[in-house]
Structure 1
Amino acid sequence: MKPLKHLLSDTLVYGISSVIARFINYLLVPFHTGLFNPDAYGVVGLVYAAIGLLQVLFTFGMESSYLRYGKDREQVAHLFSTIQRALLAIGLLISLILLLFQTPLSGLLSLRADASVEGRIYLLMIGILLVDALAIVPFAELRLSKRAYSFAWLKLGHVAINVGLNGYLILVLDWGIEAIFMANFLASAAVLLGVFGLTRSLWRGSWSSDMLRKMVEFGWPFIPAGLAHVVNETLDRFFLKSLSSEQIYAIYGLEWSADYIVGVYNACYKLAVFMLLLVQMYRMAWQPFFMRQSDEPNAPIIFGQAFRYFNVAAAAVFLGVGLFVESIVAIPVPFLNTTLIDQAYWSGLSIVPWLLLAYWFQGWYVNFSAGIFIQEKTKNLAQITGLGALITVIVNVALIPVLGMTGAAIATVLSYGTMALVLHKVAQRAMKVPFGLVRAFGAMLIAAGAVWSAEFVQIMVGWSAEMVGLLLFVLSMILIVPLQLMNRAGKTA
């Protein structure tokens, strides 16, 4: 259990800081949805979708390469310096290409290249991409060298600066949505300076072409894999944007614009942040953890135990958000005269359980990746995530014209679910781990059944939605905890 305690400790450090950071950052959601209409917020969603897609090209899979080979502390300075110089060159080259094609690309993002404000948004997008790419490996070094508290403080600093600048630029200077991107850029630049200071000793390393070739060989599969992952995360916005007014009216019976649909979808998507947060903070601790444990003889047993504890936490989040989502969005926000999500966006709440389920599957994917990393079988990742992207495209094309936002959310579930199950099969060939997949599916089915039956149960018993939600939450966890944590002898696994 000692290794699991170390994993829990690191998860809590990353997790608490991430929870605080996400909570503070999440205050921007009611702030933005209360001030900007869904059409304008739809543009924000499209630009950040593009940032997510392009970020994969800017980082070139180097974070994973550094986490894999940075364990060799004798060569780490040369490794660090080589990667950073390569990322700077790659970033400048891609930035130049983006500037050359600004006019056609701006149209895809609902930006006008000839508009000064929207032109600045495009330039800020490039700036955010370049600055964040240069920070990715220094942050990986903080994780690898177990400086979790430094990592946490810098992430919190980013959020504090970002939120503060949003308030100043929008409320004091009366900026529009461009304030969101300017605040992000300045916060990222400030944090980049901070993380550079903490890793300055590693810049003394010399350039090594041999190291770079090794890093690229390991990291290149993460480029198509990362692109496919971002396709799964963001392509649905562009499919929703392509809906015609006739299709929108047929689905919703209202004369909404496509940008309006994207804005509603983008706002409700953020409610899945609770599950995404769990997966992200777990991943932050999980990757360095399983690399440190990889040589231990009982590593597969430990990895299986970690997966079961993860499922208990994921079930609690799924139930907590899925059963009480209508109460969550109606929470009043002090001083803003609005609720957590403005009422104009509530028409998209039905997608939230689907997205929570999708991120739960993403958590499975993170767990199953251990054997792939340890045995250096990363080439499989490109194929698996490519399959996920293909499913995303096919299901989005098939369902969005019929179901709209719900179709996009279902596509995300099918994509992540398929990726997780295929990775499980591949990873088991690389390293046999007793994950207990049948029990994990049992926990997921119990939680999903509770959430999607809540309305029916409320009608049957005549209780308030909150009382029914509390009852289903408790009953579900009573079933899920022993299912995941008890072995056949009735002892804690």
Structure 2
Amino acid sequence: MKLKVVLSFAIGPVGAAFLGFVTLPLMTWLYSPEDIGRFGMLNVAISFSVLIYCLGLDQAYVRQYHESEDKAKLLKISVIPGLLLILLTAAVFFIKPGYLSSLLFGVDSAEIGFLSIFIIIISFSLRFLSLVLRMEGRGGYFSLSQLIPKLVVIGCFLFFYFFWEKHDFPQLLWANLFGFLSTLLVILLITKKDWIAAISSKIDYQKLKDMFFFGFPLIWGGIAFWGVTAMDRVFLRSLSTFEQLAIFSVAISFANAASIIQNIFSTLWAPMVYKISNDDEESIKLVNKASQYILLVVVTVFCIAGLFSWLVDFFIPTTYADVKFILLACLGYPLLYTLSETTVVGIGISKKTSYSMLASVLALGINLVLNYVMVPKFGAAGAAVSTCLTFWFFLVFRTEFSILSWKKMPRLDLYFFTFLCVFGSMVEALWGRNYSMYLKYYWVVVLMLFFFKKRDLLVNLMKRKAL
């Protein structure tokens, strides 16, 4: 894949991550902590619903796209089962929409229930339409599909700020509904030929059966990973308060700045490594080199964030003063996951994908136990610590399974320095108020120790920049 095409696909996720980084702190000045917490639950509900109702057929669509001669039929087969199921579920909730609202947000409201249902249905539709753009290589339009909802939501917030005195949770839902609906209308126009052809095509039931058998087992791995990334908010919703959920959600939004690194790397990494996957010697060299450079980024970001996390106080109300303490632990997901992407490639190259699912399942088990123990006592801090520590274990699992299925790679430094970062983040989240100054010294020492240990890597990097 050409670099220009790769970058056209990267613009959207990176831009969306940046806009998300900006949006939630803005929301904290307009809406109550309880509403911000409910907004976090909305995102959890959307991601879970799309994962479940796609039935794994979205992944089957991607897998069989280039092999299929009738892509319109393939699209129809992929969409219809999940669409029928989600509409059937929606019909049930339409009978008593307040139940869904109460279940997710602790508020019995028909308006909130209806809005949530429509948002979830549109999100499901956008999943497949964005896949059409992605598989056709239309990177610019794909990126547009990622940016439109964020921009529309920001526009709605500005409108509410200037023309409404009262700001409540239904406004958040309306803003998101307009964002997703605007995106759907634009993408429907862009992909008009594809979905019109799909509607008029016939269903191949044998093909559907084959795709279902391919995609359905993948749901379990997806659910496991979703659990690792979302259980913190589920436990905060059930075992803590919406105020704690709000603090956690705002910290996550700041930490999502690191997901820009994740999105750029993920977009560029897969084409690079699989291009030379048939050459074991070159592959292992590339993996070792990439893991060292990403480790450099991960440790540096952790340490700098540890030294300057107090700056977030200037951007959010005093109600969210605890955000600066849990921010570091919230960085664990995007940073450690990105690092694990460099070491896990052996599983993909060897095609032993069961190890990938096993890593997710083991991490989910750890995450469930940690959240169950930590959230009732520590609230948002406990959730952040649980997820951060879980992703350190996830990194270890993916790395070790990759080595088991492929080639040995050096990883002592990788485990040691990432654990120092995770340990410091845990202390900061749980006892940052008491040891704030000592922790600043800690991050300086960790950074200096890491730079000394990796001095050869830094020298080589400086030489390359000089050239």
What TM bracket, shorter-length normalisation?
0.7 to 0.9
Given that 1:21 and 1:156 are in contact with CA atoms closer than 8 Å, whether structure 2 keeps it comes out as yes
Structure 1 stretch displaced more, 433-442 or 391-400: 433-442
2:182 aligned to which of 182, 185, 190: 190
Residue 393 of structure 1 and its aligned partner are, at CA, apart by 1.7
Tell me, which stretches of 5 or more residues in structure 1 are unaligned?
245-257, 332-339
Residue 34 of structure 1 and its aligned partner are, at CA, apart by 1.0
Q: Which residue of 1 aligns with 2:212?
A: 216
Q: Which residue of 1 aligns with 2:55?
A: 60
2:371 aligned to which of 374, 396, 410: 396
Q: Which residue of 2 aligns with 1:252?
A: none
Residue 33 of structure 1 and its aligned partner are, at CA, apart by 0.7
Q: Provide the rounded CA distance (Å) in 2 between the counterparts of 1:60 and 1:307.
A: 33
1:277 aligned to which of 260, 272, 276: 260
Q: Which residue of 1 aligns with 2:168?
A: 176
Q: Provide the rounded CA distance (Å) in 2 between the counterparts of 1:471 and 1:387.
A: 33
Structure 1 stretch displaced more, 63-72 or 119-128: 63-72
Q: Provide the rounded CA distance (Å) in 1 between the counterparts of 2:455 and 2:137.
A: 33
Q: Provide the rounded CA distance (Å) in 2 between the counterparts of 1:138 and 1:491.
A: 42
Given that 2:111 and 2:170 are in contact with CA atoms closer than 8 Å, whether structure 1 keeps it comes out as yes
Root-mean-square deviation (CA), in Å? 3.8
Residue 275 of structure 1 and its aligned partner are, at CA, apart by 2.2
Residue 345 of structure 1 and its aligned partner are, at CA, apart by 0.4
Residue 164 of structure 1 and its aligned partner are, at CA, apart by 0.6
Structure 1 stretch displaced more, 289-298 or 446-455: 446-455
Residue 238 of structure 1 and its aligned partner are, at CA, apart by 3.6
Q: Provide the rounded CA distance (Å) in 2 between the counterparts of 1:20 and 1:473.
A: 31
Check if 1:157 corresponds to 2:148: yes
Q: Which residue of 2 aligns with 1:437?
A: 411
Q: Provide the rounded CA distance (Å) in 2 between the counterparts of 1:321 and 1:11.
A: 29
Given that 2:97 and 2:114 are in contact with CA atoms closer than 8 Å, whether structure 1 keeps it comes out as no
Q: Provide the rounded CA distance (Å) in 2 between the counterparts of 1:288 and 1:449.
A: 34
Given that 1:67 and 1:288 are in contact with CA atoms closer than 8 Å, whether structure 2 keeps it comes out as no
- Encode CA deviations 1:173-194: one digit per residue, 9 max, x unaligned: 4552212222222222222233
Residue 412 of structure 1 and its aligned partner are, at CA, apart by 0.8
Identity %: 20
Q: Provide the rounded CA distance (Å) in 2 between the counterparts of 1:227 and 1:481.
A: 37
- Encode CA deviations 1:216-265: one digit per residue, 9 max, x unaligned: 33322332222222322233234334447xxxxxxxxxxxxx22222222
1:227 aligned to which of 200, 223, 227: 223
Check if 1:319 corresponds to 2:303: yes
Where 1:341 maps in the other structure, the secondary structure is coil
Equivalent residues in 2 for 1:236-255, closer than 5 Å: 236-243=232-239
Q: Which residue of 2 aligns with 1:254?
A: none
Q: Provide the rounded CA distance (Å) in 1 between the counterparts of 2:19 and 2:277.
A: 36
Change (3 A) 1:145 1:397: same
Given that 1:355 and 1:413 are in contact with CA atoms closer than 8 Å, whether structure 2 keeps it comes out as yes
Change (3 A) 1:306 1:131: farther
Given that 1:55 and 1:129 are in contact with CA atoms closer than 8 Å, whether structure 2 keeps it comes out as yes
Equivalent residues in 2 for 1:263-302, closer than 5 Å: 263-287=246-270, 294=277, 298-302=282-286
Residue 484 of structure 1 and its aligned partner are, at CA, apart by 6.0
Q: Which residue of 1 aligns with 2:38?
A: 43
Check if 1:360 corresponds to 2:360: no
The amino acid across from 2:327 in the alignment is V
Q: Provide the rounded CA distance (Å) in 2 between the counterparts of 1:469 and 1:425.
A: 29
Q: Provide the rounded CA distance (Å) in 1 between the counterparts of 2:371 and 2:427.
A: 26
The amino acid across from 1:319 in the alignment is C
Residue 473 of structure 1 and its aligned partner are, at CA, apart by 9.1
Given that 1:443 and 1:484 are in contact with CA atoms closer than 8 Å, whether structure 2 keeps it comes out as no
Aligned residues: 453
So what's the TM-score if we normalise by structure 2?
0.81
Residue 104 of structure 1 and its aligned partner are, at CA, apart by 4.2
Tell me, which stretches of 5 or more residues in structure 2 are unaligned?
none
Q: Provide the rounded CA distance (Å) in 2 between the counterparts of 1:382 and 1:241.
A: 27
Residue 390 of structure 1 and its aligned partner are, at CA, apart by 2.0
So what's the TM-score if we normalise by structure 1?
0.78
Check if 1:132 corresponds to 2:130: no
Q: Which residue of 2 aligns with 1:406?
A: 381
Q: Which residue of 2 aligns with 1:345?
A: 320
Where 1:330 maps in the other structure, the secondary structure is helix
Q: Provide the rounded CA distance (Å) in 2 between the counterparts of 1:457 and 1:259.
A: 27
Q: Which residue of 1 aligns with 2:107?
A: 112
The amino acid across from 2:152 in the alignment is I
Residue 98 of structure 1 and its aligned partner are, at CA, apart by 4.1
Q: Provide the rounded CA distance (Å) in 1 between the counterparts of 2:413 and 2:217.
A: 31
- Encode CA deviations 1:452-482: one digit per residue, 9 max, x unaligned: 8999999589xxx7xx799679746744765
The amino acid across from 1:418 in the alignment is F
The amino acid across from 1:194 in the alignment is V
